[in-house]
Amino acid sequence: MASTVDSAAEQLSKLGIDGAFADSAPNLKKNLHLLSSEQVELAKMLMEMGQSHLFEKWAAPGVDDNEKKAFFDQVAKLNSSYPGGLKSYIKTARELLADSKAGKNPFDGFTPSVPTGEVLKFGDDTFINYEQAGVKEAKNAAFVLVAGGLGERLGYNGIKVALPAETTTGTCFLQNYIEYILALQESSCRLAEGKCQEIPFAIMTSDDTHSRTQELLESNSYFGMKPTQVKLLKQEKVACLDDNDARLAMDPKNKYRIQTKPHGHGDVHALLYSSGLLKEWHDAGLKWVLFFQDTNGLLFKAIPASLGVSATKQYHVNSLAVPRKAKEAIGGITRLTHADGRSMVINVEYNQLDPLLRATGFPDGDVNCETGYSPFPGNINQLILELGPYMEELKKTGGAIKEFVNPKYKDASKTSFKSSTRLECMMQDYPKTLPPSAKVGFTVMDTWLAYAPVKNNPEDAAKVPKGNPYHSATSGEMAIYCANSLILRKAGAQVDDPVQEVFNGQEVEVWPRLTWKPKWGLTFSEIKNKVSGSCSVSQKSTMVIKGRNVVLEDLSLNGALIIDSVDDAEVRVGGKVQNKGWTLEPVDHKDTSVPEEIRIRGFKINKLEQLERSYSEPGKFSLKP
Ligand code: UGB
């Protein structure tokens, strides 16, 4: 043993390395000569930052040497992917853990109040005008999807963006998003007098989702987008922390690895900045960046109007919101006013809103008011940022977002954790560092129009208190049919009321299964122009419109109707369509003979009979059975 140490010491001196810094970590010291000079620097940093325990179980030189190098590869990655490096991560962690132990409230000194924002009503003149302004502005926008989350609450084995948003057409979320962006691009381009450009689309992935997202895009020819239009940015995980001293946690399965966990969707800002994408977009003359999440099938119905609000009001930050039920698991948009006069409009996360209210003179906490909703609008985490001021801010911060830590303590002494924790950050916390002069606003839309995420597994969804949204695959799909039915009603069609049914233990409204491609109806005005005369749709009906120029004219639908047509074909659909249609057949979420993406909804579609027509040539056509 002594000879190994001696020879290691000799080798160190030959390499010109003073190993004294590793005196308190003998197992590291013995192995130092195996390391490159960069790795030795990283080892010094770890020692300085009180991380000697990481080397306690290291074997003698000659054993596991490749694993030791791999350990430092991991450390180098953790160091380079965090703004300010690992040293800064550990320092921040110590501060935040101390605050957490002391029970310090991050909102200390702030009083919450209900902010005022733009409240839109679907289909009225203001809404229509904002939609038009938004479509016009879309040519100056870039879209960013945060899709690095594993979706633990949903428990689906695939990536969430690959899930069908609805099973009538089987269109997955990613396809739906891309088709909406392409439809916006085309419509905006038609309105533009100047040169048209492609709308860039960035997707933040993580190790959990990256390769499967790439495969989904590649195997579907990017759903019609140019591959160069789509950029994938992979977020890295951050080191886990074992105790209040921010000692990094070892991976329980490998003594040469640090345990890591996701840092949260807030990473998106640093990645957009460090990748150079923001600068590229700015240089290309773009003006807006729109952020959105992975499983909201309604979202793009709200985009044109909310972008119109941003453009008209010149908001630097515009958060899209919906009425929120008290204690619903979405953050509340809140005005926070500090005793010193500072004030900001910001998302307060759902687990913080109730204690904050109780601590500041609202003894009942987060409760519904006379409207049946919380007075604080619900953040749906769709943000529209004006690119210029966003770039300026990120030049100062590098995209670092205020972090938080949420350790689960073993007991009231708060000295040890039940399991390792880590720092986290959220994309909606971006406005926290903005100066008071920044124009931060929000836009409230009807929930039926804008928000139906798929986040909860069937069992948890079935336990959601009555009256609160399920946020499941079942409710997410039903919400699309509901929204489309209500939109068609507003456009003048007579659409039957829904029936109540129970799928996977969740009572839902089943509306006619109406779907259309985004290019058919991007805005309400566009849809209104394509519905004329006296149209009616029965509750048992299904309709799929895949063509751009399909006009519904005196159509009476009681069954299933599927129309596909090329862009240059104008198809007028009318008359009486009557057939057995497509029915919904209950399935159990535990029945593994049914594919997972179907059984998590609790029903499958039985295609009994339909009228299906396809128009592949340009021209004017009439379909009147
Ligand atoms: N995501 C990432 O890309 N990376 C990560 O590390 C983590 C997530 P969740 P959450 O709209 O319903 C948010 O888990 O975080 C992506 C808001 O904070 O679905 O519980 C992930 O892929 C909350 O204020 O949601 O809650 C997904 O696309 C409220 O608005 C997105 O981030 C809530 O969403 C959100 O991740 C909501």
Q: Which atom of ligand 1 is nearest to the CA of 471?
A: 12
Q: Which atom of ligand 1 is nearest to the CA of 379?
A: 30
- Tens of pLDDT, residue by residue over 35-88, are 999 999 999 999 999 999 999 999 999 999 999 999 999 999 999 989 889 999
What is 238-249 written as a DSSP string? EE-EEETT-PBP
Distance from Cα 329 to the centre of ligand 1, integer Å: 11
What is 529-540 written as a DSSP string? HTEESS-EE-TT
Going by CA atoms, what residue is nearest to atom 35 of ligand 1? 293
Average pLDDT over every residue of 603-621: 98
Q: Would you say 225 and 202 are in contact if contact means Cβ atoms under 8 Å apart? A: no
Backbone angles phi, psi at 100, to 5 degrees: -65, -40
Residue 28 has pLDDT above 70, yes or no: yes
What is 350-363 written as a DSSP string? HHHHHHHHHHTT-T
Going by CA atoms, what residue is nearest to atom 3 of ligand 1? 148
Query: Residue 357: what residue type?
Result: L
Average pLDDT over every residue of 403-421: 94
Average pLDDT over every residue of 308-337: 93
Per-residue confidence (pLDDT) for residue 351, from 0 to 100 = 83
184, 187, 192, 195 alpha-carbon torsion, rounded to 10°: 70
Distance from Cα 147 to the centre of ligand 1, integer Å: 9
Q: Would you say 495 and 513 are in contact if contact means Cβ atoms under 8 Å apart? A: no
Residue 148 has pLDDT above 70, yes or no: yes
Rounded to 5 degrees, what angle do the CA atoms 543, 548, 553 make? 55
Q: Could you tell me which of 107, 402, 86, 140 has the C-alpha nearest to residue 269?
A: 402
- Tens of pLDDT, residue by residue over 349-407, are 888 899 899 989 899 999 999 988 999 999 999 999 999 999 999 999 889 899 999 99
Crossing angle between the packed helical segments 299-313 and 125-137, to the nearest 10 degrees: 80
Per-residue confidence (pLDDT) for residue 127, from 0 to 100 = 98
Distance from Cα 127 to the centre of ligand 1, integer Å: 27
Name the 3-class secondary structure at 405. Answer: strand
Q: Which atom of ligand 1 is nearest to the CA of 148?
A: 3
Rounded to 5 degrees, what angle do the CA atoms 462, 464, 465 make? 125
Distance from Cα 28 to the centre of ligand 1, integer Å: 39
- What rounded mean pLDDT belongs to the chain? 94
| CB atoms near residue 463 (< 10 Å) | 11
Average pLDDT over every residue of 13-39: 89
What is 308-341 written as a DSSP string? HHHHHHT-SEEEEEEEE-TT-SS-EEEEEEETTS
Q: Would you say 421 and 406 are in contact if contact means Cβ atoms under 8 Å apart? A: yes
Residue 598 has pLDDT above 60, yes or no: yes
Distance from Cα 348 to the centre of ligand 1, integer Å: 14
Angstrom distances, CA of residue 169 to CA of 95, 517, 601: 51, 10, 15
Name the 3-class secondary structure at 417. Answer: strand
Distance from Cα 159 to the centre of ligand 1, integer Å: 14
The residue with greater pLDDT, 211 or 155, is 211
Distance from Cα 135 to the centre of ligand 1, integer Å: 26
Residue 1 has pLDDT above 50, yes or no: no
Q: Identify the helix (H) or strand (E) that includes residue 582.
A: strand 582-586
Going by CA atoms, what residue is nearest to atom 29 of ligand 1? 330
Whole-structure pTM value:
0.93
- Of the pLDDT bands very low, low, confident and very high (cuts 50, 70, 90), residue 4 is low
Average pLDDT over every residue of 503-532: 98
Q: Which atom of ligand 1 is nearest to the CA of 427?
A: 18
Distance from Cα 401 to the centre of ligand 1, integer Å: 15
- Of the pLDDT bands very low, low, confident and very high (cuts 50, 70, 90), residue 556 is very high
Alpha-carbon radius of gyration of the chain: 28
Q: Would you say 504 and 602 are in contact if contact means Cβ atoms under 8 Å apart? A: yes
Per-residue confidence (pLDDT) for residue 8, from 0 to 100 = 65
Range of lowest pLDDT (7-11, 92-96, 475-479, 503-507): 7-11
Residue 537 has pLDDT above 60, yes or no: yes
d(CA 476, CA 455): 9
- Tens of pLDDT, residue by residue over 473-510, are 999 999 999 999 999 999 999 999 999 999 999 999 99
Distance from Cα 623 to the centre of ligand 1, integer Å: 44
- Of the pLDDT bands very low, low, confident and very high (cuts 50, 70, 90), residue 2 is very low
Going by CA atoms, what residue is nearest to atom 12 of ligand 1? 330
| CB atoms near residue 219 (< 10 Å) | 8
Backbone angles phi, psi at 548, to 5 degrees: -80, -45
Q: Could you tell me which of 212, 205, 237, 208 has the C-alpha nearest to residue 150?
A: 208
Q: Judge if the beta carbon of residue 146 lies within 6 A of ligand 1.
A: yes
Q: Which atom of ligand 1 is nearest to the CA of 381?
A: 30
Alpha helices in 153-203 (DSSP H): 173-191
Q: Which atom of ligand 1 is nearest to the CA of 347?
A: 24
Per-residue confidence (pLDDT) for residue 361, from 0 to 100 = 87
Strand partners, 606: 583
d(CA 141, CA 290): 7
Name residue, tokens 């590291």: 28
- Of the pLDDT bands very low, low, confident and very high (cuts 50, 70, 90), residue 435 is confident
Q: Judge if the beta carbon of residue 264 lies within 6 A of ligand 1.
A: yes
Strand partners, 515: 544
Per-residue confidence (pLDDT) for residue 276, from 0 to 100 = 97
The residue with greater pLDDT, 586 or 4, is 586
CA atoms within 13 A on the CB side of 514: 25
- Tens of pLDDT, residue by residue over 173-230, are 999 999 999 999 999 999 887 667 899 999 999 999 999 999 999 999 999 999 999 9
Going by CA atoms, what residue is nearest to atom 8 of ligand 1? 149
| CB atoms near residue 494 (< 10 Å) | 12
Q: Judge if the beta carbon of residue 293 lies within 6 A of ligand 1.
A: yes
- Choose the residue to mutate in 163, 260, 261, 293 for probing ligand 1, maximizing ligand atoms within 8 Å of C-beta: 293
Going by CA atoms, what residue is nearest to atom 1 of ligand 1? 149
CA atoms within 13 A on the CB side of 172: 16
Distance from Cα 473 to the centre of ligand 1, integer Å: 16
Query: Residue 115: what residue type?
Result: P
